[in-house]
Structure 1
Amino acid sequence: MVTVSLLQGDITSQAVDAIVNAANSSLLGGGGVDGAIHRAGGPEILAACRRLRAGALPDGLPTGGAVATTAGRLAARHVIHVVGPVHAPGQDRSHLLRSCYTQALAVADEIGARTVALPAVSAGAYGWPARDAADIALTTVLTAPTSVKEARFVLFDEAMLRVFTEALGALQPR
């Protein structure tokens, strides 16, 4: 069973087997977590993403999908890129957000990763409401079949850490 931990910090500094990147479908870098991972990891990550685009993923990574690359200069060994859904009021796209986490864990299993650092996928620029994003992320990771031993949610600010802490508390028996 996976152990979930929560911390506020910089996901790029985590010494884990794999870091999950909230990427855009192009895989060619962007803002937020994606930009930070590409900057800190160096050109090796972008080169690996370009190879994916030139081969297996010519149209990019679909929303809800996951794929692994090298982690370049990061302390992690791999980066698992996922494409979260943009929140759309009036449309239930939660299955796509759940898929990001289940697919990331499946890829982690494929590459032998036992420790994984994850961001709050879609809860930033993609506008997903924080508590709903936390509930989906935590429930999915805690119930997904995986060989990952530690899922470490690394949250950018104190407010998001508080939301995830409250959500995790609500999921755990008293």
Structure 2
Amino acid sequence: MDLDARLADITTLRVDAIVNAANSALLGGGGVDGAIHAAAGPRLLEECRELRRTTLPDGLPVGDAVATGAYDLPARWVVHTVGPNRHRGQTDPALLASCFTRSLDVAAGLGALTVAFPAISAGVYGWDVDDVARVAVEAVRTSTATGPTSVTFALASPRALAAFEAALAR
């Protein structure tokens, strides 16, 4: 699997699947989640509401993933995952790693070959970006998902890009 990191707006990438750093409600929010919902248009929110009404009435658990259409985005699918929130005591790196591996599993199930990830749980969820980069790169490298051939870490700041470049160089 080819891995790279770049400074990029994940909502503009032409990949099969982009990963959304969602909250468990799946109904939009701030940061990457809000940007993805805004760029995808109202049908994404409608599909997420339907997921909550039917298969996920209690929301999406931390570390798990689910897919929707991408609607007005250039990607084909959005894979939503809920990262652990350090401010709520969710400090287990295995939960963070699960966001990446479960997202790849879901993407593989869709037939996605190219996947883009943000820095899940960095920022408002309180994880240090160096820790996120280390966990993310290790999780993707050791993933058993078959199908995806290319993973891009789409990062919103030069600091995040440097952290992911350093993790990829290890």
TM, length-normalised to structure 2? 0.96
Question: Which residue of 1 is the match for residue 166 of structure 2?
Answer: 166
Question: Which residue of 1 is the match for residue 4 of structure 2?
Answer: 5
Larger mean Cα displacement after TM superposition, 82-91 or 144-153: 82-91
Q: Residues 23-76 of structure 1, C-alpha deviation per residue, up to 9 Å, x if partnerless?
A: 000000000000000000001110110010000000110000100001010000
8 Å CA contact 2:85–2:91 kept in 1: the answer is no
Residues 89-108 of structure 1 aligned to structure 2 (within 5 Å): 92-108=91-107
Return the offset for 1:168. 1.1
4+ runs of 1 displaced by more than 3 Å? Answer: 88-92
> What is the percent sequence identity of the aligned residues?
51
Return the offset for 1:87. 1.7
Name the CA shift for 1:91/1:51 in 2 (closer, same or farther; >3 Å): closer
The CA RMSD measured in Å over matched residues stands at: 1.3
Residues 118-137 of structure 1 aligned to structure 2 (within 5 Å): 118-137=117-136
Unaligned runs of 5+ in 1: none
Larger mean Cα displacement after TM superposition, 90-99 or 137-146: 90-99
Q: How many residues align structurally?
A: 169
Question: Which residue of 2 is the match for residue 154 of structure 1?
Answer: 154
Residues 1-174 of structure 1 aligned to structure 2 (within 5 Å): 2-87=1-86, 92-146=91-145, 147-170=147-170
TM, length-normalised to structure 1? 0.94
* Counterpart Cα distance in 1 of 2:41 and 2:59: 20
Is the partner of 1:28 in helix, strand or coil? coil
